[in-house]
Amino acid sequence: MRTYAELPRLMTMMTGDEKHGPSATSTLDVLWVLYDQVLRVSPATVDDPGRDRFLLSKGHGPAAYYAVLAAKEFFPEAWLAGFGSASSPLGYHPDRSLVPGVEIASGSLGHGLPLGVGVAHGLLATGFGSPRVYVLVGDAELDEGSNNEAIVYAGAVGLPNLTVVAVDNRSSSYGWGPGGIEAHFAVAGWTVTRVSGRDHAALASAFRVTSAGGSSAGPQLVVATVEGKG
């Protein structure tokens, strides 16, 4: 398997105007920490009902996601060079029917968190209390109303197996005011924390805390701060 240091080279294999480089790069460290240290899923367990689920809601910039999946051998590294071509499974938005390890087709912003709530609910309803659902969102897509409904609902029912990581590059339309993103989740009953989105140790620690405390604390939010857009 590849290392974190090799991810920039893997990302350069993907070219084109639809790569959304800054959007993808903002998520690179979070994605790596999740797949390298946190998620209980591998190429051999992508169909295991007991696996953890990762949902990339910020699906319009999937280059970093593809680089990490290739590094972890979910699909051949050679696929990266065909990114966005008509014959490639690696589209400008991830497709769960074409890319091994991808849980949802995403890219239409605002859908990942509501889907994550449904997946978390479904796991509990079918007796799978151990798998966790992780949803990666961007701060700007939280402007979408569907996210607010999901935030309020998940907090009200206390979903214990749901973790949201919000990559914050301060690109939301109106900003977040006092308390930041986490205030909007906390008032709905979520446990919240904010760490540097470039600090691997801090990210891993935050995810371990949310995983360990999820059974009693309800849904969890980790805000990962990165450099500002532009």
Are 183 and 176 within 8 A, CB to CB? yes
CB 166 within 8 A of CB 151: no
- Averaged pLDDT, 110-120: 95
Compute the residue count for the chain.
Answer: 230
Q: Which residues are within 8 A (CB) of 127 and not within 5 positions of it... i.e. 6 or more apart?
A: none
Instruction: Render the burial of 133-168: b for 16+ CB within 10 Å, e for the rest.
Output: bbbbbbbbbbebeebeebbbebbeeebbbbbbbbbb
Report the mean per-residue pLDDT for the chain.
91
pLDDT for the residue 102: 97
pLDDT at position 93 over 70: yes
Give bridge partners of residue 194 from the DSSP assignment: 223
Strand partners, 195: 224
pLDDT of 68 higher than 60: yes
Q: What local confidence, expressed as pLDDT, does residue 176 receive?
A: 79
- What is the model's pTM? 0.94
pLDDT at residue number 211? 67
Looking up tokens 């079918």, which residue turns up?
A: 126
For residue 188, give both structure tokens.
């709905």
- In terms of Cα–Cα distance, which of 66, 130, 64, 48 is closest to 102? 66
Q: What is the per-residue pLDDT for 110?
A: 82
Q: Which residue has the higher pLDDT, 194 or 140?
A: 194
What is d(CA 109, CA 33) in angstroms, rounded to the nearest whole number? Answer: 23
Please tell me which of 132-146, 172-186, 212-226 the model is most confident about, judged by mean pLDDT: 132-146
Average pLDDT over residues 95-102: 96
Average pLDDT over residues 94-99: 96
pLDDT band at residue 143 under the 50/70/90 scheme: confident
Return the pLDDT at 56. 96
